[in-house]
Amino acid sequence: MPRSHHLLAAAVAAVVVVVMGWSARPCEASLYQPPPPAMAYHDGAVLEGAVPVSVLYYGAFPPHHRAVVADFLMSLSPRGRDHQPHTFGAPGPAPPPTVARWWGTVERYVRKAGRGGGAGVARVVLASQVDDEGCSLGRRLSRAQVERLAARLGVAPGGVAVVLTAADVAVEGFCSSACGAHGSSAPGGGAVHVWVGDASAQCPGRCAWPFHAADYGDADAGRHRRAHGHDVALRAPNGDAGVDGVVINLAALMAGAVTNPYGRGYFQGDAAAPVEVAGACPGVYGRGAYPGYPGAVRVDAATGAGYNVVGRNGRRYLVPALVDPDNYSCLIMT
């Protein structure tokens, strides 16, 4: 396994309990609020300039799910605004896209690294999409096999190979320790890859939260959520908890792959278990978030679905808060 292989720990499950467990009772706030830890730069490469992304759908992905993923990736660096009606819910003009504004925080990290050559941007370009619906390597994959699938996409250094595994595909460590991961073909360089699994059939309460009831949390936190009406899962903005959970984890891992592609970019803590720009605010999607409650997010009036950004074709998405590169607070899309 490459040394630069970073896990997105089971969707805010273990990570939230460890990192944010102290804030399970949000009303019991100390007068002293310690400053957030710095997102340190370790003088390594980041991805910048044009970042071609190729996607391999491993297993059965309905056309609607592929369109949700493709529209999200094309929303990160749009060529122009798209005001088409969105495809889930009532028709009508879509609000202005905001996914690119969320991605702009990632580009602030790229500019701050100041390595030059890419004009301080990370312009995501969807280069290709490939199907392996027949699961050519079987339906139980090791991490090494996931890397082999990524290599099939032939992505050059500077790009990202994305492997998405379907709901009936088991991947080593999926659910038990991770919802996805990113890494590179060689320590310090080479092609970058991202893997995310559809958790809808295996662990929706871990890797598709908050679109499914969480399967973690202590009793006191659970009582607090129920008392305040926060114990109900959000409705998925694209009509399916599996694919909307995939987008959450894909967003977090794309941010990590660009800002820490080879293990010497931006992260907190130990390089062997880095906390990256989308991992330092675990489980935070709206204001007032605490473990087991994603915070106050927007609600689609037509569908009742929760979201915090709008993308191509008017699609709604939920994306994680990123750490502000200047003051290290959690930047929440509102």
Give the integer Cα–Cα distance in Å for 323 and 328: 5
Residue 1 lies in a domain: no
| Residue 69 falls inside a structural domain | yes
User: Looking at residue 131, what is its pLDDT?
Assistant: 98
Range of the domain at 181: 6-24+39-331
Count of domains observed in the chain:
1
Residue 212: inside a domain: yes
Asked whether residue 32 is domain-assigned, the answer is no
Mean pLDDT on 58-70: 98
Q: Give per-residue burial for 124-137: e unless 16+ CB within 10 Å, then b.
A: bebbebeebeebee
* 200: in domain: yes
- For residue 202, being part of any structural domain is answered with yes
φ, ψ (nearest 5 deg) of residue 278? -100, 0
Whole-model pTM? 0.86
Residue 16: pLDDT band with limits 50, 70, 90:
very low
Centre a 10 Å sphere on the Cβ of residue 50 and count the other Cβ atoms it contains.
15
Q: Per the domain annotation, does 203 fall within a domain?
A: yes
- Is the pLDDT confidence value at 37 over 90? no
Average pLDDT in the 57-79 region?
97
Examine residue 33 and state whether it is found in any structural domain, yes or no.
no
pLDDT tens column, 279-298: 999 999 999 999 889 999 99
